[in-house]
Chain A
Amino acid sequence: MSKNIFLPLSLIILGYGFWMSPNFKDISAGVAIFLFGMLSLEQGFKAFSGGFLDKILKNSTDKLYKSIGFGIVSTSIMQSSSLVSILTISFLSAGLIGLSQGIGIVFGANLGTTTGAWLVAGYGLKINIASYAMPMLVFGIVFIFQKSASLKGVGYILTGLGFLFLGIHYMKEGFEAFKATIDLSAYAVDGYKGLFLFTLVGIFATVIMQSSHATLVLIITALSAGQISYENALALAIGANVGTTITAILGAMSSNIEGKRLAAAHLIFNLVTGLIAIVFIYQIIYLVDQSAMFLNIAQDDYTLKLAIFHTIFNTIGVVVFLETTLKQKKSVDEIGYDSVKYLNDSVLEFPQTSMGALIRETKHLYENAFEIIAHGLNLRRSKIVSSMEIDEVVKEKHARRYINIEDFYNKKIKDIYSEIITFSTRAQVNMQAQDIENLYKLKLANREIVEAIKNTKHLQKNIIKFSSHPNKYIQQQYLQIKKSLAELLRNINIIATTDEEDVIILLLSKVRINTQKNDLLANGTLDELIRNKNITNQMATSLMNDSVYLYNIRNNLCNMAETLFVQISGELKHIEDEMHITQSEIEEILEKKD
């Protein structure tokens, strides 16, 4: 009900706002153009995923210090930490970088923004990036019309940037009316009360002007004119640092969950850094004075001292967060409970609608299972579904530590699975024999998903133990297990997303054959390793057990894919039974190879 009202109500409010205030119209248009720019930018970066840009980003952000350096350099060049944050969100959304790399870049961007403070304080420089918007749009569109995918990608990136700048320009235009009302001297208060008040003013001013640089110029002007005290100016600078995160938050609105997490991390980082700076303001002021003396800066040259302050407090922030980066990443990565998306009483009335909802919910369950299995093996989902070589996929770690599968199972699988089973029982009442048969198959597919996760949990223990074991033979076998599962997940993803019936039929058969081929007990690998004394008896037992888990996971997921993506909902549902590869045919093919 509330959802139905929300859209027309929003449109009415917007329409009324446009009619009443031209400034409001400019601001809204600015936000809309800005978000459109984000979408275009993301599309542009997607054109380069897996290619040249991917390599550059990977090499320049694969270590935390490198991503911080990347953030510093790019912000110093572009003179806009907001723009760097937005670009980072686009990289994240396009799957070009991971969250931890994104956080590193944002840290670096905060440090890089201090070069802006020095330029403004020292030379009164202000680079107006918005003036590039129009040429970027024109060049971008010319590139978009080209046939080459790379040129098209460049075109989308240019138009994306152009729209971003244009959007910011309109937002600024719209806020011009409010800007005139900002009189800093009216708020001058001493002590911590004044500090907090001016921090809030700094946040507000930066949100309005969409630029921490512009706020810095305002602060320096007010400071030179004696409108505010030196301490108040420092608080304003802290506020500007927090306020600048609004652009990234706006940008994250159109991005995926990773982008939103990064915007949250950016906000947390700048807020905490700001709080530290306020609490230790007098100690930092002392440090600024000492640094000014060391740099031969006059004690009354407050503008340059403000730049020193800006550098010191951002450096303190980065140092503090370097220690806690992993903990923070863990907190933003913290898994929440997931619940059913499609099952509700309104679809129960008709067999078709309840069946449709159950199919969608099972697909939802599989998406969660994919995440758990991939991360359980410390593999990155984005790389599994990319065109990257499988050998490379298994080399790229998802995180430093393996996830706790039990925890993920309890939060992302258990409730949904039990809801699906309960809902199926209720839906069955109104169904015909054929539908009941399909429902039974679907319930089995759900069970296969759950079984696959449980088997992965058992497998994970030895994968952790042997993946970096000094015995190269056992290490190789566990690497092979990871590769086998990564390839399986990739193939299932293709089956789930393609419309080509021949591709589906061939992939399903290939997956079945590979399951037999990868069975270490059947293919003689285990015997050979024992015979040649390459592994200990204990290792052999582990490998034997894990070979069974691998075999089961492959079968679980293959059966699930056949039911969920082919037999029940795919185009092949009429003929899949006829084209299904039999066990004897698999054996025949494998015998020929031997």
Chain B
Amino acid sequence: MGVKKFIQNVLESLKITDFEITSKKKSLKALLSKLKKKRVDILKELQKEPSDKQKTELNEELELISLHIKKGKKRLEELKRS
């Protein structure tokens, strides 16, 4: 038995073959939680009636955050299903 096959067998017997997926899920969850917190912060800032320039910047950032949250959630769902 080759070294690669041996490692594969050990991983399968210890049921850690989806290690990569688990770590991806963990990283994604952590990132999503930070992004959500940031979204809340920006929404709070927007309620404080900022200047027009600040408002534009905050809205742009909010749009980006929402896009990334959407992407992150979608990917997380895919990982959960796999």
Partner of A572, one of B20, B27, B60: B27
The tally of residues in A whose CB lies under 8 Å from a CB in B reads 18
* Chain A interface helix/strand/loop/mixed: helix
B72 touches A579 (CB 8 A): yes
B28 touches A581 (CB 8 A): no
The B16-69 residues at the A interface (CB cut-off 8 A) are: 20, 23-24, 27-28, 30-31, 34-35, 38, 60-61, 63-65, 67-68
In the complex, the chain B residue whose C-beta lies closest to that of A500 is B34
B38 touches A579 (CB 8 A): no
In the complex, the chain B residue whose C-beta lies closest to that of A571 is B27
CA distance A505 to B27 in the complex (A): 13
User: Which residues from chain A contact B61 at a C-beta distance below 8 Å?
Assistant: 506, 510
User: Which residues from chain A contact B64 at a C-beta distance below 8 Å?
Assistant: 506, 509-510, 513, 589
Q: Which of B28, B35, B64, B72 has the most CB of A within 10 A?
A: B64
B20 touches A505 (CB 8 A): no
* Chain B interface helix/strand/loop/mixed: helix
B68 touches A579 (CB 8 A): yes
CA distance A592 to B27 in the complex (A): 30
Q: Tell me, yes or no, whether A578 is within 8 Å of chain B by CB.
A: yes
CA distance A572 to B31 in the complex (A): 9
A501 touches B20 (CB 8 A): no
B35 touches A578 (CB 8 A): no
Q: Tell me, yes or no, whether A574 is within 8 Å of chain B by CB.
A: yes
Partner of B63, one of A575, A579, A589: A589
User: Which residues from chain B contact A574 at a C-beta distance below 8 Å?
Assistant: 20, 23-24, 27
User: Which residues from chain A contact B31 at a C-beta distance below 8 Å?
Assistant: 501-502, 505, 572, 575, 579
User: Which residues from chain A contact B67 at a C-beta distance below 8 Å?
Assistant: 509, 581, 585, 589
B24 touches A502 (CB 8 A): no
User: Which residues from chain B contact A592 at a C-beta distance below 8 Å?
Assistant: 63
CA distance A506 to B63 in the complex (A): 10
User: Which residues from chain B contact A571 at a C-beta distance below 8 Å?
Assistant: 27
B68 touches A505 (CB 8 A): yes
B28 touches A578 (CB 8 A): yes
CA distance A578 to B24 in the complex (A): 10
In the complex, the chain A residue whose C-beta lies closest to that of B75 is A578
A575 touches B24 (CB 8 A): yes
* CB proximity of A513 to chain B, nearest CB, Å: 8
In the complex, the chain A residue whose C-beta lies closest to that of B79 is A578
A579 touches B71 (CB 8 A): yes
User: Which residues from chain A contact B23 at a C-beta distance below 8 Å?
Assistant: 574
In the complex, the chain A residue whose C-beta lies closest to that of B78 is A578
* CB proximity of A310 to chain B, nearest CB, Å: 57
User: Which residues from chain A contact B34 at a C-beta distance below 8 Å?
Assistant: 500-502
B28 touches A575 (CB 8 A): yes
* CB proximity of B39 to chain A, nearest CB, Å: 10
User: Which residues from chain B contact A502 at a C-beta distance below 8 Å?
Assistant: 31, 34-35, 38
Query: A405-440 toward B: CB 8 Å interface, digit per residue (1/0)?
Result: 000000000000000000000000000000000000
B30 touches A501 (CB 8 A): yes
* CB proximity of B62 to chain A, nearest CB, Å: 11
Residues in A lying within 8 Å of B, measured CB to CB: 500-502, 505-506, 509-510, 513, 571-572, 574-575, 578-579, 581, 585, 589, 592
Residues in B lying within 8 Å of A, measured CB to CB: 20, 23-24, 27-28, 30-31, 34-35, 38, 60-61, 63-65, 67-68, 71-72, 75
Write 7 A-B pairs (CB below 8 A) sorted by A numbering.
Answer: A501-B34, A502-B31, A502-B38, A572-B31, A575-B31, A579-B71, A589-B67
Q: Closest 9 CB pairs between A and B?
A: A502-B34, A578-B75, A575-B27, A574-B24, A501-B31, A574-B27, A502-B35, A509-B64, A575-B28
